[in-house]
Structure 1
Amino acid sequence: MDKGGDGIERKWAECNYCLDLLAVDPNRNGTTSINKHFNGCKLNPDNIPKQVDDKQQKLSFTKAPNGEGHVYTWKHDDTRIQLALLGLFTIGELPFKFIENEAFIEFVNALNGRVKLPSRHKISRDVVSFYLMERQKLYKHLSNPKTAIHLTTDT
């Protein structure tokens, strides 16, 4: 709260990211100033420009079971995440309802907060296209003349 030069008391809010003061008096401004500022605040991590963030790679470190460590670059890739999620549900034979499990959602958000999980209905539709794509890859691989298939039977 703040009294201006005219003696009228006004309400202000402070941005969590850049600490700017915003007018939030419900009789004069409403929440318009907050919404506009939140969507345009340069320090808000949700407002990182897509083209800049997609080009920026991050370093990641993994440790192998034998104790050796490896450093590699990583960047957020929605397509790769979607395919990995489809692989998890098809290869792991998980029920589609599992994607709505609170513990799974929390786990995914802990790994990468930018991942937007699809609904169970979207996953079930995407599995069909995933199957057709994988089948096409198999046909292409088997149609290669250098591909050999060896079948054995044990009786």
Structure 2
Amino acid sequence: MDAPATENLDAIINIDENEESIKNKDVKLEENPFEQKKRKRTSVIWNDFNEIILLDGTKKVQCIHCLKRLAYNNNGATTQYHRHLKCCLSRILADKKQKLLAVNEGGVESEVAIANFKYDHANVREKASHMILVHEFPFNMVEHEVFNVFMKTAAPYYQKISRNTARNDCISTFELEKKKLKTMLGSVNRSLLDWGLENKVCTITLDNANNNDATVRILKDAIKRKLMLGGKIFYVRCCAHVINLLAQDGLSEIEMVIENVRESVKYLIASEARLIKFGEIAKQLQLPSKKLILDCPTHWNATYAMLAAALEFREVFPRYKDRDAGYNCCLVMKIGIGQNMCTIFLSVFEEVTNVISGSEYPTANIFLLEVWKIK
């Protein structure tokens, strides 16, 4: 009976030793309860700072936003860390709860003013209309892909503007500026006397519209006594407009040639395949690599550019007709002599117009000589 009891006792002792061994192993996995615990940090600044140790063993505190390093305080003081967070611009911009900032430079001694920013789409549309009107951009410019990528990069909140919206905004801007101008001139009478300019006006330059003639007569009667030579040289006709009338009158004499060239160019540029075939013929003839130009009928200089370009390809058109049965404008194109004379004639007007338009103030010593060349 003693032996079994002894064996049972040994088994009980072994079980107790195993349990004690397991308990001891669990204790080793946890922190040592006998070591002094580190003081728990309660300040909120540690959400924005990290402790780092430099290569030389120096301990620093680093801002997680701007990465600026500050001295480590062994006494636990956090005043300088709070002071840094108040002026850390990187933290302010990164904080999702913080509004965007608008930084306006200028003012006295280049002061920088920081204010809360809010995207104003109405203001963006207004400024876009000013941009289109000042630089004479097309309305569909606001729909260009690269332009919208640029705007999204500069302002993530930017909303796209359609061409119809841009057109309507430009009309609204024009009407608004028109009202402002009317208000500004509301207290001004119709005469130049109120401005004290009656002794300073020498000539006035306008085009040849009938309403301008009537306006000049009224104005001339009001200040006739102050004008040079009794007003005989007061009204100067617009030289560029006179040249345009002369050129348009001359073009009317060869209207058939111009219309034929215009229809030929329209036919060719309407299809990429036609242009490729036309270009192949031009390359075989070793002609210069120029492009066909389609004119605007109301602008004589555009018509000149179209004729000059087509004249370079006068040998290509009949050869192209042999390859394209649908092209039937070549009969009149044989009048190459008339087209050539027209181009030479218009080149004189083109040269004079460039001289006049190239000067901001084309005075008489500039345009009189050019008009004499035309005569």
Per the normalisation by structure 1, the TM-score is 0.51
1:111 counterpart (145, 154, 163): 154
Structure-2 change in CA distance of 1:150 and 1:101 (3 Å)? farther
Matched, 1:93 2:153: no
Count of residues paired in the alignment: 99
Residue 63 of structure 1, CA deviation: 7.2
| Whole-angstrom distance in 2 between the partners of 1:149 and 1:105 | 47
Structure-2 change in CA distance of 1:110 and 1:62 (3 Å)? farther
| Whole-angstrom distance in 2 between the partners of 1:139 and 1:150 | 20
1:6-25 counterparts in 2 under 5 A? Answer: none
Matched with 1:59 is 102
Matched with 2:367 is none
SS in 2 for 1:76: coil
| Whole-angstrom distance in 1 between the partners of 2:102 and 2:143 | 30
| Whole-angstrom distance in 2 between the partners of 1:150 and 1:102 | 52
Q: Per chain length, whose mean CA-contact separation is higher, i.e. which structure has more relative contact order (CA < 8 Å, sep 6+)?
A: 1
Matched, 1:82 2:82: no
2:113 counterpart (38, 49, 71): 71
Identity over the aligned pairs, expressed in percent? 19
| Whole-angstrom distance in 1 between the partners of 2:187 and 2:120 | 30
Residue 126 of structure 1, CA deviation: 2.0
- Paired amino acid for 2:153: A
| Whole-angstrom distance in 1 between the partners of 2:172 and 2:202 | 36
Matched with 1:14 is none
> Which structure: greater helix fraction?
2
1:131 counterpart (174, 189, 208): 174
| Whole-angstrom distance in 2 between the partners of 1:120 and 1:99 | 7
List per-residue Cα deviations over 1:108-143 (Å, max 9, x = no partner).
111112121221122112211211111011111222
| Whole-angstrom distance in 1 between the partners of 2:195 and 2:152 | 43
List per-residue Cα deviations over 1:76-124 (Å, max 9, x = no partner).
2222111111101111111112112121111111111212122112211
User: Where does structure 1 lack aligned partners over 5 or more consecutive residues?
Assistant: 1-47
User: Where does structure 2 lack aligned partners over 5 or more consecutive residues?
Assistant: 1-95, 189-193, 204-375
Matched, 1:140 2:183: yes
| Whole-angstrom distance in 1 between the partners of 2:196 and 2:131 | 29
| Whole-angstrom distance in 2 between the partners of 1:153 and 1:75 | 50
SS in 1 for 2:157: coil
Structure-2 change in CA distance of 1:143 and 1:112 (3 Å)? same
> Which structure: greater strand fraction?
1
Q: Is the 8 A contact 2:139 2:167 kept in 1?
A: yes
SS in 2 for 1:143: coil
List per-residue Cα deviations over 1:47-76 (Å, max 9, x = no partner).
x9xxx99xx562315479xx9463343432
- Paired amino acid for 1:58: L
Matched with 1:23 is none
Matched with 1:26 is none
Per the normalisation by structure 2, the TM-score is 0.23
Structure-2 change in CA distance of 1:102 and 1:143 (3 Å)? same
